[in-house]
Amino acid sequence: MSYRCLTVYGFQPCLGLHHDSELNQFNLADDLMEPFRPVADLYVAANVAEDAALTPILKGKLVNLLNADILSGGQHHSVAYAMERLVQGLRGQALLLPKLLEYKQHSYE
C-alpha cells in the first residue's frame, strides 16, 4: 500500500484501523495491505524454495506482483490499481475488497 496513494485521497497513513503503534508511521497502509497479502503468500509458496535467498532477482519478481491480475469490484485489474480502488472506497464509496485469481500478469485490453 502506497503512502502517496493514501495521502492523495486525504488520509493520514499513521492513523490505522487495527494497527495503532505510535512508532509506525504507516498503520493505515499496513491495515489496507492485508487483503492483498495472499497474492504474495501464494506466489512464494508456489515459486520460492523454503531455503531460497532473497536475491535482487527475487525481489524484482515480488515487486512485480503489483502487476498481477486480481478481481476488484467484479473486474480484472492489476493489484496496484485494486489497492487504489480500495483506498477510494474508504471515502464513502463501495469498499472493493479484492478476490484472488490464478497468478498471471495483468494486461490492458
- Residue 5 is predicted with a pLDDT of 82
Report the residue count for the chain: 109
Pair 43, 79: CB distance under 8 Å: no
Selection from 9, 7, 1, 3 nearest residue 88 by Cα:
9
pLDDT confidence of 25, banded at 50, 70, 90? Answer: low
The region of weakest confidence among 61-70, 72-81, 91-100 is: 91-100
Residue 1 pLDDT > 60: no
On the CB side of 64, CA atoms within 13 Å amount to: 12
- Residue 101 is predicted with a pLDDT of 84
pLDDT confidence of 31, banded at 50, 70, 90? Answer: confident
34-63 pLDDT, tens per residue? 899 999 999 999 999 999 999 999 999 999
- Residue 29 is predicted with a pLDDT of 82
